[in-house]
Amino acid sequence: MSIKILIVEDDAQIRSFVSYALTNEHYETVSADCAARALQQIEDASPDIMILDLGLPDMDGKEVIRKVRESSLMPILVVSARDRENEKVAALDMGADDYLTKPFSATELMARVRVAARHLSQTPAKPEMSRLCVRSLMIDPEKRLTYLNGEEIHLTPMEYQLLLFMMKNAGKVLTSGAIISELWGSGYGNDTQSLRALMAGLRRKIEKNPGKPEYIVTEIGVGYRMKEE
Amino acid sequence: MNIQRIRAVLLTAAIFAAASIIGYIFYRAGFPDASIALVYLLAVLFSVRQTSSFLTGLITSFAATFIFNYFFAEPRFTLAVNDPNYYITFLIMTVTALAVSTLTARVHRDAQTAREREQEVKAIYMLTNRLSDAADMNAIAEIASVAISEGLDCSAGCLCFDKNGIPQQTYVYQPRGKERSLIHREPERKEELVFRLNHLQDDHDEGEEFFDWPLFSGEDILGMIRIDRKDAEAMNPAQRRMLRSMIDSAALAMDRLRTSEQRMQSREEAARERYRANLLRSISHDIRTPLTGIIGTSEMLRSRLTDDPESYGMAEHIQKDAEWLHSLVENILTLTRLQDADLKISMETEVVEEIVGGAVGRVTEHHPEYDIEVVLPEELLMAPMDAKLIEQVIINLLENSIKHSPAGSPISVSVSRGAALWMLQTEESRKAASDWQNMVTISVRDAGSGIRESDIPRIFELFYSDEKRQVRGQRSFGLGLSICETIVRAHSGVIAARNREDRAGAEFAFALPLQKGDTVL
C-alpha cells in the first residue's frame, strides 16, 4: 500500500509541482487549497503525511497543526517563506515535524518526505532501553554508553542527555526551546547560550570537523537536526 | 511732561488758595487755630494725591506751615510769631504733613505700578493668545507688529527669516496710532542687516532710523522686530521690559511653529520612505511565490528531459535564472528590512563556528560541486549577533566566491581570533575595530580570478559591480556585497576585501566584536 500525502498549499503552481514530484516517486497525493478543505480531506482521505503551507488564506497555520494534533500523530511538514523564522519555530513547537523554506527544490522536498515516510514504518512506541543507531554513531541507554565507529567515546552527563534526545528524534528538527526544556526543564527559560556551548562541546567529540558537522546540523534561527543519512 | 508739571503746580496752587479761603472763613467764625491747620493738612493730602510725588509732599508740607504762619498766626501777614507756643504747632504741623504726604504718595505710586503691570500682563496675554492661533510665520509677524504697536504706542515691524536664515523679501510694518493698517516694506541692505544681527553686543541693534531686535531660537535667527528709533528712545524702563516680554513671546511662537513644521516634514519623509520600502517588500514577497513554482517545475521538467540534451539545457537555464532571481529578491528583502528604521537587530550570543557550519551546509546543498574547507581555532569563540543575518553574510560571500571561481576549485572559510591588520586600512574601520584583539574574524578565500585593485575601495558600495569579476553577463547588481557591509556595520564590525598574496584569488573577511566578559566555558 502506498503512502498517501496531503498537500495543503494555496498556490496552484506549487501544488501541482509538489504533487507531480511526489507522484513521480510513487506516493499517492491528495491536495487542498485552504485549511477548511485540508481538515475535511484528513477526515475523508485519511492521509499519512501532511505538507502544510503556513501562509493559508483562511486560517493560521499553527491553528491547523493544533487541530490536526488533537486526533492524529501524522508527520507534518511545514512550508514557509525565509523571513518567517518565528512562524516556523512556533509551528515546530506546536507539533510539526519538519520544515521547508520557499523556494525549495524537488530534491529537498523528497529528502524530507523520505524521512517522514521512514518514521511512519517504524513502530511508534519504541522500548525506552533499546539501542539507537545513526550511521556510525550508537548509543546504549541501558549502559549509558556511546560508540563512534565501534569505539567508545566519553561524554559528560549533559552531553549524553543531549545526544540521546537528538538520536531519539533523528531526522526531526528540534527547536532550541524544545531541547532546552528537555535538558534543563521548562522552568529554565530560553537560555540558548548554554545549549550552544554544550552543543559545541558535543560536536568536538562526535564530528570530524565541527565546522562541517555530519551528524547534528544547525538550522540557524530554528534549532538542530540529527541527520539520518 | 512739562505741561503735566505746570498743571500740577497750578492745581496745587488752586488747592492751597481754596484752603486759605476756608481758613479765613474759620478765622472769621472764631474757630481755633488748630482747625485751620487741619484744613491745610487736608490741602497737602489733596496735592500729593494729584502728583503722587514725594517732592510735592515735601514742598507742600513746608508751604502749608509757612502759609498758615503768614496768614493766621499773630502777628498776621508776617513770618514772625508772638507766642512761642506756635513753634510747637508749626513743628507738629510740618511733621504731620510730611508723614501724611509720604504715605499717600507711596500708596499712589504702588497703585499706579500695579495698574501698569496689569496692563502689561494683559497686553502680553493678549499677544500670546493671538499668537497661539497663528498658522504661519507671516501671521505671527503681523500679530506681533500690531500688538507691539498698540501696546507700546509706537511704530513696529516684524521681518521673518526662512529656514536657511535668510530674511524674506518684505516685512510687515504697523505705523503708530493707526488701527491695524499693515504696510509691507522692503528691508534695506539685507546682508549687512543679517551680519549686524549675528554680531550683536547688546540684545538689539541701533540703526539710524530703527532699533532692531532679533528673534532667536538657540543660535538661529527666526525673525526680527523693528521699532522706529524715536519711539524706541522714548520708552521708559517699564515699556522696555514690556517690549522684551513681547519679543520673547513672538520668538517662542516662531520657534514652536518652526519646530512643528520640521517635525511634520520629517514625518512625511519617513512615511514616504516607509511606503517605498513596503512597496518593494510586498512586490518581492509576491514574486517569491511564483518563483517557488518556477524553480520546482523547471527542476521536474529537467528530470524528464534527460534524453533530450537541448531541452534539458533549456529547462536547466530556466531553473538557474529563477534561482538567481530568487536570490535577488531575498537580497532586496533583507536590504529593506535592514533599512527599516524601526528594525532593531535582535542580538543573541552565538557560537561562531556553528553559524559558519550552518552557512557552509546551506551553500553546499546548492553547490555540491564545490568542496568548501572550514578551518576553526581550538578555542570556542562566542559573539553577539543576529544569527540569520550573519549566516546571510557568510552565504553571500561564499556565493560571490563561487560566482568568480571555476567549479571544483578550492574555497575555504576560516575563523580566527582578532581582526587582521590588512582589514583596518580605512580610518573608519580602525575606529570600529579599536578593540581588535577582542574580535573574531571570518574569512572566505577563493582561488578565482581575484579583484581589480582599483575596485577594492568601492566593492561594498551599493550597485557597484566590477566588470572583471563579472562572469554571468550583465546581471550582478552588487547587492550581495553591500548587504554584507550593511549587516556587518550594524553589528559594529568591519569588512574588507583583498587579493590573496599566496596565490591567485580573492579574500573577503569580516570581524565582529566577541562577547564581552567571561564566556560560559
State residue B521's pLDDT score.
Answer: 45
State residue A1's pLDDT score.
Answer: 64
Q: What CATH number does domain B344-513 carry, 3.30.565.10, 1.10.3720.10, 3.50.90.10, 3.30.390.30?
A: 3.30.565.10
The pLDDT-based confidence of B468 (bands split at 50, 70, 90) is: very low
pTM assigned to the model: 0.65
The pLDDT-based confidence of A22 (bands split at 50, 70, 90) is: very high
The model's pLDDT over B295-319, given as tens digits with 9 standing for 90+, comes to: 888 988 888 888 888 999 999 899 8
d(CA A11, CA B348): 35
> B139 near B145, Cβ under 8 Å?
no
Residues 6+ positions from A127 with CB-CB distance below 8 Å = none
d(CA B453, CA B468): 11
Query: What does the domain layout of chain B look like in residue ranges?
Result: 2-125, 133-263, 344-513
Q: What CATH code is assigned to B133-263?
A: 3.30.450.40
- Provide mean pLDDT across the span B501-516: 91
- Provide mean pLDDT across the span B361-386: 90
Q: What CATH code is assigned to A4-121?
A: 3.40.50.2300
Query: What does the domain layout of chain A look like in residue ranges?
Result: 4-121, 132-226
The model's pLDDT over B255-304, given as tens digits with 9 standing for 90+, comes to: 998 888 889 988 998 888 888 878 887 887 788 878 888 888 898 888 88
Question: Which DSSP letter does residue B460 get?
Answer: T
- B 339-398: CB under 8 A from A: 348-351, 353-361, 365, 372, 374-376, 380, 382, 387-388, 391
Closest CA to B97 of B137, B68, B58: B58
Q: Say if A165 is an interface residue toward chain B (CB within 8 Å).
A: no
Q: Is the pLDDT of residue B469 over 60?
A: no
Question: Is the fold of B133-263 the same as that of B344-513?
Answer: no
Given phi > 0 = left and psi -120 to 50 = alpha, else beta, which region is A59?
Answer: beta
* Set of chain B residues whose Cβ sits within 8 Å of the Cβ of A82: 330, 333
Which residue among A83, A105, A200 sits closest to B296, beta carbon to beta carbon?
A105
Q: Say if A194 is an interface residue toward chain B (CB within 8 Å).
A: yes
Question: Can you give the C-alpha Rg of chain A in angstroms?
Answer: 18
d(CA B423, CA B416): 13
d(CA B462, CA A44): 54
Q: Is the pLDDT of residue B473 over 70?
A: no
**Interface mutation target, options B285, B286, B289, chain A, most CBs of A under 10 Å:** B289
Q: Is the pLDDT of residue B64 over 90?
A: no
State residue B166's pLDDT score.
Answer: 85
Q: Is the pLDDT of residue A127 over 60?
A: no
Distance from the Cα of A89 to chain B's closest Cα (Å) equals 13
Which residue among A11, A108, A197 sits closest to B520, beta carbon to beta carbon?
A197
Cis peptide bond prior to B75, omega within 30° of 0: yes
Residues 6+ positions from B282 with CB-CB distance below 8 Å = none
Strands (E) located in B329-488: 348-351, 372-375, 382-385, 411-417, 439-446
Q: What CATH number does domain A132-226 carry, 1.10.10.60, 2.60.40.640, 3.30.413.10, 1.10.10.10?
A: 1.10.10.10
Give the number of A-B residue pairs with CB atoms closer than 8 Å: 120
Q: Is the pLDDT of residue B334 over 70?
A: yes
The model's pLDDT over A131-149, given as tens digits with 9 standing for 90+, comes to: 888 888 999 988 889 999 9
Instruction: Report the DSSP beta bridge partners of residue B212.
Output: B205, B226
Q: Say if B290 is an interface residue toward chain A (CB within 8 Å).
A: yes
Q: Is the pLDDT of residue A125 over 60?
A: no
> A63 near A37, Cβ under 8 Å?
no
Distance from the Cα of B384 to chain A's closest Cα (Å) equals 10
**Cross-chain residue pair B361–A217, CB shorter than 8 Å:** yes
Q: Say if B190 is an interface residue toward chain A (CB within 8 Å).
A: no
